[in-house]
Structure 1
Amino acid sequence: MPVILENATGITRDMSASGMFFWTDGGAFAAGDPIRFAVPIRKPAGKMTLICRGAVVRTEQYEAMLGVAVRITASTMEPVR
């Protein structure tokens, strides 16, 4: 699924209720940094956006991509208008 960040975009590798790992080719992230992001989700009732806040747990560099592991501390699901 796509991930929308403040200054970049990414793609999820893994996601759970308490965390996420995504790949991005933009932005600068370090362990401990606060992070906010959104994940568009399609549901039978319509399009929704999962809006999350959390903290970066770790990063992994792979060629031109940066992997970012995040602990989610708060989230809300909002309909797309």
Structure 2
Amino acid sequence: MHTARGSSGVPDRRRAVRFPIAIPVELDVGGGVTRDVSLSGVFFETEQWFAPGESIRLTLVLERASPGDTIRVQCEGTVVRVVDSDTKTDVAVQITSHAFAQ
């Protein structure tokens, strides 16, 4: 378990290190962009609304070295946190399964 100290001085008990990176996210309806990812989860911004505890399917679209060539990672998980604002919704998802897609 990763137990670094967060900016508030409180121990951070996340299971995996998070990496700040912007990756396009495709949803069943609409899309978004990640703020950070880890081995066990993803935190992304979207205009769609989700409820904590809701099951979710999403696809991360990773760019390869060749422009326009992508790798798609299809993920399933559970929404664990939602933060709404006037313009967007931040969604934290615990990933339960993933697979590479063509």
Q: Same fold (TM over 0.5)?
A: yes
Q: 1:31 aligns with which of 41, 47, 52?
A: 52
SS of the equivalent of 1:7 reads coil
Larger radius of gyration: 2
The residue number in structure 1 matching 2:18 is: none
What do you get for the CA RMSD once the two structures are aligned?
1.4
Structure with the higher strand share, 1 or 2: 1
What displacement does 1:62 show?
Answer: 2.2
**1:1-20 alignment runs, 5 A limit:** 1-20=23-42
Unpaired runs of 5+ residues, structure 2, are: 1-22
Identity rate of aligned residues, in percent?
36
* Structure 1 Cα separation of the partners of residues 55 and 62 of structure 2: 23
* Structure 2 Cα separation of the partners of residues 18 and 62 of structure 1: 25
* Structure 2 Cα separation of the partners of residues 20 and 40 of structure 1: 13
The residue number in structure 1 matching 2:99 is: 76
What displacement does 1:40 show?
Answer: 0.8
AA at the equivalent of 1:68: V
SS of the equivalent of 1:31 reads coil
* Structure 2 Cα separation of the partners of residues 42 and 8 of structure 1: 19
SS of the equivalent of 1:29 reads coil
The residue number in structure 2 matching 1:21 is: 43
What displacement does 1:44 show?
Answer: 4.5
What displacement does 1:78 show?
Answer: 2.1
> Highest relative contact order (Cα 8 Å, sep 6+), 1 or 2?
1
What displacement does 1:47 show?
Answer: 2.1
